[in-house]
Amino acid sequence: MRRLFNNIISVLHSLIRFVILKICNPQGIHFALIERFSPNVVVEVNHGGKLRLGKKVRVHSGCKLKVRNGAVMTIDDDVKVNYNCMFFCRKNIHIGSGTEFGPGVLVYDHDHDYKAGLKERKYKLSDVEIGKSCWIGANTVILRGTVIGDNCVVAAGSVVKGNIESGTVFIQRREQINRSYKEFGL
């Protein structure tokens, strides 16, 4: 009973929040009537940016969705985002329907352009596309220029950049190195 009550409160809170965002930025946000965003999810849509939400999108506590000027973030129907995820969009991020994210996933469609210097605030931008019915494991980092096909599984702790074909289980293996400080010359 308590869970049902919490879900109803989250849906009502989300509706009120998105109506206010829509009033402040009429062209910047499109949403369905029923969305379930935890009250402590940060949603920022700069003027000129667009956030498009499909039906029944669920986002848990501690998440951040940030859409900057001229950027478009599209999240299709029935997407579930677990605790403490962050999606930061400066160009284009698209998430297909039925995709689920484990806790702590980070998605970026940009990198800092360090050659220009940090004070210049210039970025290298590339689209991020995540297909339908994917599972993205906990603490995964998805970088600019990544395309993940439909029905993929990305193992927890992966760093993903590039293309992953549909139906793939992506496991990033790392070599464990145990050496003393002396062997590293420290």
Catalytic (active-site) positions: 112
What does each C-alpha distance from 113 to 66, 86, 123, 124, 162 come to in angstroms? 19, 21, 5, 6, 19
User: CB–CB of 123/89 below 8 Å?
Assistant: no
CA angle 49, 53, 58 (to 5 degrees): 125
What does each C-alpha distance from 28 to 25, 42, 48, 186 come to in angstroms? 5, 16, 7, 52
Structure tokens belonging to residue 27: 């062209």
Q: Which helix (DSSP H) or strand (DSSP E) does residue 19 occupy? A: helix 2-24
* CA 106 – CA 155 distance, rounded (Å): 14
